[in-house]
Structure 1
Amino acid sequence: MNRSPSWRMALLAAAAWLLPTTASAGDEAPLRPTTCSFTGMMDELRAALKSGSPAYRKYVKERLKMAARVMPSKELLAAVQQERDPDTLEALGAALAGKSSFSEDATLLQPLLARAVGDADPSLRAAAVRGLRGTGSVDAMARNGGVVTYEQLIRDSAPEVRQAVADNLVHESAKVYFGHDRTVSETAVATALASKDPEVAARLLSEVSMEQVGHETVEKLRQQLRSEDAGLRSAAATALGGVPGSESASTSQTLVQLYRTEQDPGVRKAALQGIARLGLGSARSTLESLRGVAPALDPEIDAWLSAMKLGLQEWHLLLREKERIRK
């Protein structure tokens, strides 16, 4: 029977669950397989997190994640509920989240979500949130009835929790769905708008892909161009540069108007970047028309125009070339 790579990895983890005992001093006793206990794995994890090298810590955490896929849930769930060390809780949470994803049983995450929202210690709340990173956490939260959401967690009073939320959504968009999941992107926007922390909100808007968002979300981003916080206006302009092609013409006009009326140089630079990204090579005439509006930023326009002459069609290449020219 053919097995997918994930199944083969799980079977390897199951095999690793059985380790040979050490022979006696006289080497007369035969080697016998024995079950590697969860307690033993936890002892190894704690020792690695306390004094192990970065490579060893990574190995031990990954080993726990793989073993968790095939181990019974009871001990793992109990450990997640009871753990008091943030680093250990994060590792346990990652193992539980991996098991939940592998088994397609979102309810396994309930103890971790409960700690993320309800633990009295902010460092443990943040650790529980970080445990969700690298999985389809937005979908998993929805399948748990939306009892705990990122929009709720972003309002946490602890900065480390809010930062963990932003880290999760940025990572999930880029590394789990490679920028192609509309729900994650729109959740990031909704979470940013729910935040009372302008810096975290700005990071969500500027770093999460917007290539799949719908018209309603684009309108929400436009509204942020009127924010009193310059960082949020700048982040919204950056985000608008990445909206779907069906929104590009009207969005480009919005950014042109922003550039003409905005007084903050950082927001104006973000508007230029958004215009360039929406149009790539076809944005040259639009950018040229903005010369003289803010003379101090004319060199920025010139850098974009010089980069566009190279005919690059990949956005990251165009952005890199523009930054090289502008140095």
Structure 2
Amino acid sequence: MNRSPRWRVALLASAAWLLPATASAAGSNEPPLQQTTCSFSGMVDELRAALKTGSPAYRKYVKERLKMAARLMPADQLLAAVHQERDPDVLEALGGALAGKASFSEDTSLIQPLLTRAASDADPALRAAAVRGLKGTGSVDAMGKNGNVVTYEQLIRDSAPEVRQAVVENLVHESAKVYFGHDKTVSETAVATALASKDPEAAAKLLSEVSMERVGHDTVERLRGNLRTDHPGLRAASATALGGVPGAEATSTRQSLVELYRNEKDPAVRKAALQGIARLGMGSARATLESLRGVAPGLDPEIDAWQSALGLGLQEWHLLLREKERIRK
């Protein structure tokens, strides 16, 4: 496998934990420094102490150092530590190091002990910590390569709210920060996970915050079907999600959102439908929005705000949304 110069720099940096200390300067009255090796157990002890009493910057440092060192160290000690650890904060850090090693070595089987703890540990705090250990990695792909023995669809059904929250945070972060909204599998996993959830708030956060720009037709249909759910928060989140679907789905999706606006009674759901319509059409949405004036007179100022923002000709959605919110205040 070809490796870039950047990889070699990273390899040297991660090897620093193995290097002996340098000798003292010539002529110094101090005794010469002795060669030493930073052991894995020593690093874990330092991690444990830092997580209890260290500053935020120091905690970040020791966790990042462990991640870098884990790339080169044999897996056995790290796997054993993940299996045995009982402190949630330490388990999360060890899990992050293990997940990073799995990604670096392209051996996704390494994360299986972490997945096992996420699914079956008796302590909900430790289950949540194991889930959080996967954050910032390509965890959806890794789960698939491990045969989907443990999935986010399963984990979102956990009885503990902290576990469900960790699932949501992982998927939102993975979509936005690992794949920058461009991964179809992550987006479709987020929708499937939301629809499998019994927690309406967790499901709504997934649907409204994960990018939908690459989802397929079947997933769009599932989102459209969710516009008929009994929970208004989920209807609103589904409308928000539908605003971000691919252009090939725009026409039929716009019709669904228009029908939602006309038939819906909940103002928050209607506002989400307007947002979805605006996002689907951007500049071309103005006529559709105008056709809805008077359907819910109390929301006509919302339509006015969208019309004003769309009239600015902004091409980036986040800028348009920010401008609309400024106008509406």
TM-score by length of 2: 0.96
2:135 to 133, 138, 151: 133
Equivalent AA in structure 2 for residue 276 of structure 1: A
Structure 1 partner of 2:97: 95
Tell me how far apart the structure 1 counterparts of residues 47 and 229 of structure 2 sit (CA, whole Å). Answer: 46
SS in 1 for 2:36: strand
Gaps (5+ residues) in structure 2?
Answer: none
Structure 2 partner of 1:16: 17
Structure 1 partner of 2:323: 321
Distance 1:208 1:62, change over 3 A: same
Structure 1 partner of 2:301: 299
**Cα shift readout 1:238-273 (whole Å, capped 9, x = no counterpart):** 000000000011101110111000000000000000
Structure 1 partner of 2:198: 196
Tell me how far apart the structure 1 counterparts of residues 4 and 37 of structure 2 sit (CA, whole Å). Answer: 25
TM-score by length of 1: 0.97
More displaced 10-residue stretch of structure 1: 125-134 or 36-45 = 36-45
Gaps (5+ residues) in structure 1?
Answer: none
2:120 to 109, 118, 121: 118
Structure 1 partner of 2:30: 27
2:88 corresponds to 1:60: no
Shift of 1:20: 1.2
> What is the percentage of aligned positions where both structures have the same residue?
76
Equivalent AA in structure 1 for residue 15 of structure 2: A
Shift of 1:7: 3.3
2:43 to 18, 41, 57: 41
Tell me how far apart the structure 2 counterparts of residues 90 and 106 of structure 1 sit (CA, whole Å). Answer: 18
Tell me how far apart the structure 2 counterparts of residues 28 and 299 of structure 1 sit (CA, whole Å). Answer: 77
Equivalent AA in structure 2 for residue 238 of structure 1: T
Q: How does 1:250-261 map to 2 (within 5 A)?
A: 250-261=252-263
Q: How does 1:203-242 map to 2 (within 5 A)?
A: 203-242=205-244
Equivalent AA in structure 2 for residue 7 of structure 1: R
Tell me how far apart the structure 2 counterparts of residues 86 and 21 of structure 1 sit (CA, whole Å). Answer: 36
Equivalent AA in structure 1 for residue 303 of structure 2: I
Tell me how far apart the structure 1 counterparts of residues 123 and 3 of structure 2 sit (CA, whole Å). Answer: 46
Shift of 1:2: 7.2
Shift of 1:18: 1.9
Tell me how far apart the structure 1 counterparts of residues 3 and 289 of structure 2 sit (CA, whole Å). Answer: 56
**Cα shift readout 1:42-71 (whole Å, capped 9, x = no counterpart):** 111011000000010001100100110011
Shift of 1:27: 3.0
Tell me how far apart the structure 2 counterparts of residues 233 and 267 of structure 1 sit (CA, whole Å). Answer: 6
Equivalent AA in structure 1 for residue 44 of structure 2: M
Tell me how far apart the structure 1 counterparts of residues 103 and 71 of structure 2 sit (CA, whole Å). Answer: 9
Shift of 1:99: 0.3
1:164 to 166, 183, 189: 166
Report the RMSD for the aligned CA atoms in angstroms: 1.5
Structure 2 partner of 1:7: 8
Tell me how far apart the structure 2 counterparts of residues 146 and 248 of structure 1 sit (CA, whole Å). Answer: 32
Shift of 1:13: 1.2
Shift of 1:308: 1.0
Equivalent AA in structure 2 for residue 125 of structure 1: R
Shift of 1:11: 1.7
Q: How does 1:232-311 map to 2 (within 5 A)?
A: 232-311=234-313
Shift of 1:32: 4.4
For the 8 Å contact 1:141–1:148, the answer to whether it is kept is: yes
**Cα shift readout 1:89-124 (whole Å, capped 9, x = no counterpart):** 000000000000000000100110110001000000
2:182 to 180, 186, 189: 180
